[in-house]
């Protein structure tokens, strides 16, 4: 066989790489400069965006000028901007500047952080980061965890650890078929990823008992106890209580100490879903709201939410780090290593479902190092203060009604037009329809951007502030634009019986 000649077309030399990098950096800086003046969202339909950005892959290389023109169009003409100061929706952080640089370096090094031998520095950074994060929640020495793709995977890992710890030593091999059926307990306000995790774990979504909440949207411990007792009578096997530390709709925090007492009494795993609200423990004024979180067996949160880092990145930390190895460890022959000879560290592939893992920890690590803990604590506290400001402004405004207690950095409210009767048939149904239309138009309008929640069966507007660029000016704009749009729709939509 002839010796193959070198083929290096895919490997750019450093000079050419620098040119591409510098032009990409220029585009990023242009975005940062223009961001406050760009529309947050656009009135583009899917077919319009598709026509603008969907290209046929060429046989020959696209000229760099053409490639950058395409990227510029994608970034500045056909995107929406979670980093815009007026974006207050869907618990999506703005993306830290140091985090972007960290992502570039992580992609450049291109390590697989599934195996320590493939990612020595990356693995040790992730280990140090997750141990530090576990300590912020008050978990003891020996705690730690790993970075994931987001809250869905983080919750899945935490609940698999619960299943394996409480379902019996053979559950990984024998599965979950047969009796007794394992059951979980979470509030009516818990994120849907918990049901999805129950499905993925083979328990089935019906295994998750959705517990009633109180008037502050917190899970009721008395109802948890009642449900556990019913399941024990029915010969089911309760395994875990799932508490929310910042629910997705309202930011409510379940009574963590009382739920920890129940978990201890019945021998259950306590899992805390803090995907949104978890980082609130860094703020001195918010920390008391989380009393009892240090008693959890596992905690999840998403750095791309209230740590503001670029998408995507979730995190799960556990009280007993060795337990993750017991839950996920597999040891095929092709990954053999002699640790006594090499002195290598922990393989993260043995602590979660992924073998191939990117260096997601670096953007979080670099952001924390570049800003410091104190700045994070102050900004998280500031976000919560802005939510309280929105609550106060909406309360005093005659055309708005606050619909839930403002606990962290979420405020739920709705538009109520002047002259609408205070009571009467059809009133709330009309307000649901009006506020639904208002939110849709608000997101298309481009000046402000919030989302929605459904509370006690009613459609409400929901502003979630996890954006380090948002200030009181943007809060005022949100209310002004919502009132303007609401009045415009009300003028044409209001039924005659409500005039």
Residue 114: which pLDDT band, with cuts at 50, 70 and 90? very high
Residue 455: which pLDDT band, with cuts at 50, 70 and 90? very high
Q: What are the structure tokens assigned to 64, written together?
A: 């760099």
pLDDT at residue 49, as a whole number: 96
pLDDT in tens, 141-191: 999 999 999 999 999 999 999 999 998 878 998 888 877 899 999 999 999
Q: How far is residue 105's CA from residue 121's CA, in Å, rounded to a whole number?
A: 13
E strand or H helix that includes residue 315? strand 314-318
- Domain 102-332+340-371 identical in fold to domain 375-498: no
pLDDT at residue 224, as a whole number: 98
pLDDT in tens, 389-428: 999 999 999 999 999 999 999 999 999 999 898 888 899 9
Distance of CA 205 to the CA centre of its chain: 21
- Any residues with CB less than 8 A from the CB of 91 and at least 6 apart, and which? 248, 275, 276, 302, 305, 306, 464, 466
Q: Domain residue spans in the chain?
A: 14-79, 102-332+340-371, 375-498
Q: How far is residue 3's CA from residue 1's CA, in Å, rounded to a whole number?
A: 6
Across the chain, mean pLDDT equals 95
Q: Which residues of 446-462 are buried (b: 16+ CB within 10 A; e: fewer)?
A: bbbbbbbbebeeebbbb
Maximum distance among all Cα pairs of the chain, rounded to whole angstroms: 88
Residue 205 main-chain phi, psi, to 5 deg: -65, -25
Q: How far is residue 326's CA from residue 351's CA, in Å, rounded to a whole number?
A: 8
Matching CATH number, 375-498, of 3.40.50.1100, 1.10.3720.10, 3.40.50.720, 3.90.1150.170: 3.90.1150.170
Predicted TM-score (pTM) above 0.85: yes
Residue 342: which pLDDT band, with cuts at 50, 70 and 90? confident
Q: What is the DSSP letter of 361?
A: H
pLDDT at residue 180, as a whole number: 86
Residue 216: which pLDDT band, with cuts at 50, 70 and 90? very high
**How far is CA 437 from each of CA 51, 394, 402, rounded to the nearest angstrom?**
27, 19, 18
Would you list the DSSP string of 223-281? HHHHHHHHHHHTT-EEEEEEEEBS-TTT--B--HHHHHHHHHHHT-EEEEE-TTTGGGG
pLDDT at residue 168, as a whole number: 81
pLDDT at residue 345, as a whole number: 84
- Any residues with CB less than 8 A from the CB of 339 and at least 6 apart, and which? none
> Could you tell me if 227 and 257 are in contact, meaning their C-beta atoms sit under 8 angstroms apart?
no
pLDDT in tens, 419-434: 898 888 899 999 999 9
Burial (Cβ within 10 Å: 0-12, 13-18, ≥19) of residue 364: buried
Which architecture characterizes domain 102-332+340-371 according to CATH? 3-Layer(aba) Sandwich (3.40)
């Amino acid at each position: 066989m002839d010796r193959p000649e070198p083929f290096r077309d895919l490997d750019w030399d450093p000079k050419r790489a620098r040119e591409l990098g510098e032009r990409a950096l220029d585009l990023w800086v242009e975005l940062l400069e223009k961001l406050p003046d760009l529309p947050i969202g656009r009135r583009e339909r899917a077919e319009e965006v598709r026509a603008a950005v969907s290209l046929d892959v060429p046989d020959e290389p696209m000229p760099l000028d053409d490639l950058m023109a395409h990227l510029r169009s994608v970034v500045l003409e056909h995107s929406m901007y979670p980093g815009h100061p007026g974006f207050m929706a869907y618990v999506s952080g703005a993306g830290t500047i140091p985090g972007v640089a960290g992502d570039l370096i992580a992609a450049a090094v291109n390590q697989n952080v599934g195996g320590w031998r493939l990612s020595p520095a990356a693995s040790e950074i992730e280990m140090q980061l997750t141990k530090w994060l576990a300590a912020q929640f008050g978990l003891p020495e020996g705690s730690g965890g790993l970075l994931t793709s987001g809250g869905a995977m983080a919750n899945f890992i935490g609940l698999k650890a619960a299943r394996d710890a409480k379902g019996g030593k053979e559950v990984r091999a024998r599965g979950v078929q047969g009796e007794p059926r394992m059951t979980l307990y979470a509030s009516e306000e818990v994120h849907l990823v918990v049901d999805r995790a129950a499905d993925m774990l083979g328990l089935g979504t019906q295994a998750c008992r959705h517990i009633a909440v109180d008037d502050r949207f917190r899970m009721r411990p008395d109802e948890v106890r009642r449900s556990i007792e019913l399941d024990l009578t029915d010969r089911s096997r309760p395994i875990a209580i799932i508490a929310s530390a910042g629910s997705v709709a309202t930011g409510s925090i379940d009574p963590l100490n009382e739920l920890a007492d129940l978990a201890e009494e019945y021998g259950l795993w306590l899992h805390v879903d803090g995907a949104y609200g978890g980082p609130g423990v860094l703020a001195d004024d918010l920390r008391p709201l989380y009393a009892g979180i240090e008693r959890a067996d596992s905690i999840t949160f998403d750095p791309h939410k209230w740590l503001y880092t670029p998408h995507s990145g979730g995190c799960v930390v556990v009280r007993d780090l060795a337990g993750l190895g017991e839950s996920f460890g597999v040891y095929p022959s092709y990954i053999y290593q002699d640790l006594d000879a090499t002195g290598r560290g922990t393989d993260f592939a043995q602590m979660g479902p992924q073998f191939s893992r990117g260096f997601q920890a670096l953007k979080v690590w670099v952001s924390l190092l570049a800003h410091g803990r104190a700045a994070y604590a102050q900004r998280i506290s500031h976000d919560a203060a802005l939510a309280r400001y929105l609550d106060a402004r909406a309360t005093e405004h005659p055309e708005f009604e606050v619909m839930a207690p403002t606990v962290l950095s979420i405020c739920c409210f709705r538009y109520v037009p002047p002259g609408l009767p205070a009571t009467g048939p059809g009133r709330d149904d009309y307000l649901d329809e009006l506020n639904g239309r208002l939110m849709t138009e608000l997101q298309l309008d481009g000046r402000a951007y919030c989302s929605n929640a459904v509370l006690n069966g009613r459609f409400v507007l929901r502003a979630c502030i996890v954006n380090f660029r948002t200030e009181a000016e943007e809060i005022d704009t949100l209310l002004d634009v919502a009132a303007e749009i609401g009045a415009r729709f009300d003028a044409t939509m209001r039924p005659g019986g409500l005039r």
